[in-house]
Structure 1
């Protein structure tokens, strides 16, 4: 979704909000009667804690490379927000693990990917800097996807109509609003330290391919360990088409339209998503308001 309203704020001061969520009454299928759609979104809880800790780790390493004070302030705000995101989604995983849905084997694979495959390497000098820039390009690409998802969940009134759990909706929309709020930071940082069009394009190709594989495997895994389904149902492609048509998950069409804009040479994240809508949600989010007070 693209917003070009001239009334949109150019920039907001990014702040970490010390939110808390109570998962004690969360049902297994928090979208009632929709286990597939529930687990398509639950996949995010599997990857975000480790993924966002990795974002924070890489961004901290990049701080000495930032020569612009305004960008440095944004990067520090981004680091604070991402750290809170990681712990908030970790709380959902802890709840799952305590209530019969063991996510640990899959999360171990995710942890290996971020900490070993994408982790620090024993390089020095130019090679170390090149590996850091490579990872910044990857984060910029992933942040394009998370900003799309953030705008989607802010717009997805179908989840309310379906009776989705209000606490989970608040987590997703609080997180989604902050993704929209800081959607330009990773891209701006990458452009500041490198800016190669080829590198950022290749990073997006890799990011989309890896996310697609992880998402398919993650949904299959969650359906298999679901304590209600007990392995009696497997995910099917027609389930994805149906949930997208109902507006309970992003549709394939929405995803396919969201990615190509990143390959335009004049692309900038500010061209997509609504900062004013994100700020409006954060002003009423139960968790964000509780944190503020």
Structure 2
């Protein structure tokens, strides 16, 4: 039996070896190199000093209020984008799941279609809508109002990110709803429960895994987004990804950019793992009740 066990174990490791090698090459190795780069000494006259290491970049992150402001702005915008995606995406997924053929397929294609368009193209589209002479301000002037500064504001970044991230919320929730047994809703209705009670007590608990997956995806992508903040936020409204870009390509301070990337990754992991743990505990408690 022991021989069979080890033979099966070797076969399993052998089958998974290509995936492990690919995973290590494309993810673990670049992250390790980025971490190592973040400790390299940097001088603006001589550049990166290979083989010399320092904690100066992390001390700068912890001691400069400018970086606190950047990280705070990044995370409150990401939180708000995630919340808006939940408020918009969950009802949309519920409506989508209750549609019959062929409307369900048509609207599902409409939900997925924006993913086929480049984020840069969509960002330029929003810049045309929200610009000083854009359609939104033209409509406001036509209605007798005054034009508003919409572009290069947090509002423009939030609108653009919600538009980009919304499919990543709808699809996981819609997938969870496909596993819901319609007989459970019919049984609750036959026992005298209202539509609201059925939605709150039967449907919503079943979509918690989908909402959790969607929020993790949306928050992670929003916090690390570069194209939307860069094009709709402008040069003054900085987020962490745009600051990393500046450090790498404008300042040529690669170690500082790597330190920012590592800090963003760690904070993202802390927030996402904490949120995942909190939701899973509440979900298991609900199921246990």
TM-score in terms of structure 2 length: 0.26
Larger radius of gyration: 2
Report which of the two has the higher share of helix. Answer: 2
| Greater relative CO (CA pairs within 8 A, separation 6+) | 1
TM-score by length of 1: 0.25
